[in-house]
Amino acid sequence: MTLLAQPAAAAEPSCYSSTTNEWVCWQYVEDRREEIVDAAVQHVGITVSAIALAVLIAFPLALLARRAPRLESSILGVSTGLYTIPSLALFPLFLPFTGLSATTVVLGLALYALTVLVRAMLDGLRSVPEDVRESATGLGYGPTRLLLRIELPLALPVFMAGLRVAAVSTVALTTVGVLVSYGGLGNLIQHGVARNFRAELLTASVLCVLLALVLDVVIVALQRALTPWTRGARA
């Protein structure tokens, strides 16, 4: 007597199907790897671009505030006030000029980062001891050489502390770019919330946290490389 062939077992539902919808699902990561990588790359690109632009804007503003004390309160007031503008109101202001593009998000995030960076750079410049400036001037250092060779290196630790705060906050704020369809991992988070897609929501959220941690570590490593004398002081 021969045994009848058993029907093939029905494939088990994946851990992110509508019937299971688990929070932790490695199968989702494998199946949607390309989509996740694209979102993460976009997130990093927007974040780094926004921080770089904010530094380029914040530095001359900090120099102006230091050299023209009567403008300090206005510069700090405006840079701080920008952070109070909701993204729903700020991003549309750029749409007539940049449209629905990543540039819109980069400009908005750069303005938000000025709140931290302008004050950090100004505090860093003021942290340079006055007797050091006087000594350098006595040795023949002009204003530009004094800034580049003496003040900036000594102010760098304070600069970098502010940069770390701005970078981590920008990683989180980049998700708001979903308003114009350029939110990086924020796009996945929005989709996960709208569809109650747990694996997508948790994966994107965890990646945001990891990106913030990695960026912070990179900035710390950069600071240590640029200020080797501080390692000896701590030791």
The structural domains of the chain, with segments of one domain joined by +, span 33-227
At 123-179, the pLDDT tens digits run 988 888 888 887 888 877 788 888 888 888 888 989 999 999 999 999 999 998 888
Question: What is residue 3's three-state secondary structure?
Answer: coil
Amino acid at 87: S
Give the chain's radius of gyration (CA, Å). 24
Residue ranges in the chain modelled with pLDDT below 70: 1-13, 230-235
CB contact at 8 A, 207 and 28: no
| Closest by Cα among 189, 181, 184 to 211 | 184
| Topology of the domain comprising 33-227 | MetI-like fold (1.10.3720)
**Contact status, residue 82 vs residue 93, Cβ threshold 8 Å:** no
> Which segments of 32-147 does DSSP mark as H helices, in order?
33-67, 69-81, 87-98, 102-126, 130-138, 143-146
Q: Residues of the chain with pLDDT > 90: what percent?
A: 42
What is the structure's pLDDT at 136?
A: 80
Question: How far apart are the C-alpha atoms of 21 and 15, rounded to whole Å?
Answer: 6
Q: What is the pTM of this model?
A: 0.85
Find the largest Cα–Cα distance for the chain. 107
pLDDT for 6 equals 39
172: left (phi > 0), else alpha (psi -120 to 50), else beta? alpha
At residue 32, φ and ψ (nearest 5 deg) are -110, 25
pLDDT, position 36: 92
